[in-house]
Amino acid sequence: MRLSTKGRYAVTAMLDLALNGTEGPVTLADISENQGISLSYLEQLFAALRSKGLVRGVRGPGGGYYLGREADEISIADIICAVDEWVEFTRCKGRQNCQDGQRCLTHSLWDDLSQQIFIFLSDITLQDLVQRGEKREAERLEKKAATAAVSKVVGLKGRAA
């Protein structure tokens, strides 16, 4: 799992789509204008998103992009995975002492952590973000609840400080 600016661009663009695409498709030119991302870079991102079925393009005048699925069926993890491909962190493949021994322990631990972050981001949908935008008053409470829920799901209790 990676969290880079590329992924942020994609999430931001998809969020723009979810917010403004309620009636009719949204053009990349609009998103480019709104979010300050170059059109060609958006095209690249949306090519990846399209190949994963996360968006649906409509050509011609009046065209643009729709979400490929309902907003509550698209998770942040879906988006990030579509544009930021998953790099395996298995440098030790084939190295000695790295089969089942202590050497590789840290690697598998990181993989676990990565997996948990993935689960975390899989539980947040575009719809969640839209709703968060709609009601900002309960923001802090919601955040707290979300974090608690995640801890519960993930099962990794933190230090009780």
Q: Report the interface residues with DNA, using CB under 7 A.
A: 4-6, 9, 25-29, 36-41, 43-44, 46-47, 50, 57-65, 84, 87
Minimum gap (Å) between residue 119 Cβ and DNA: 22
How many CB atoms neighbour CB 49 within 10 A?
A: 26
Number of residues that bind a copy of itself (CB under 8 A): 63
Q: Per-residue contact track with a copy of itself, 22 to 41, x per CB under 8 A? A: ------------xxx-----
Q: Which residue type does 157 have?
A: K
Q: With CB cut-offs between 5 and 8 Å by kind, which of DNA, a copy of itself, none does residue 101 bind? A: none
Which token pair is 24? Answer: 């009719």
CA-based nearest residue to 1, from 103, 94, 122: 122
What's the Cα-to-Cα distance from 6 to each of 46, 56, 140, rounded to whole Å?
12, 20, 27
Dist CA 121 CA 140 (whole Å): 19
Tell me which of 4, 38, 51, 99 binds a copy of itself, using CB under 8 A.
4
Q: Per-residue contact track with a copy of itself, 68 to 107, x per CB under 8 A? A: ----xx-xx----------x-x-xx--x----x-xx-xxx
Dist CA 34 CA 37 (whole Å): 8
Q: Does 50 bind a copy of itself (CB under 8 A)?
A: no
Q: Tell me whether residue 33 or residue 139 sits nearer to DNA (CB atom).
A: 33
Torsion 54-152-129-44 (CA) sign: negative
In a 13 Å sphere around the CA of 120, the CA atoms on its Cβ side amount to 18
Q: Does 127 bind a copy of itself (CB under 8 A)?
A: yes
Q: Which residue type does 98 have?
A: C
Dist CA 55 CA 11 (whole Å): 12
Query: Which residues of the shown chain bind a copy of itself in the complex (CB under 8 A)?
Result: 1-5, 8, 11-12, 15-16, 19, 34-36, 72-73, 75-76, 87, 89, 91-92, 95, 100, 102-103, 105-110, 112-113, 115-117, 119-125, 127-129, 132-133, 136-137, 139-140, 143, 146-147, 150-151, 154, 156-159
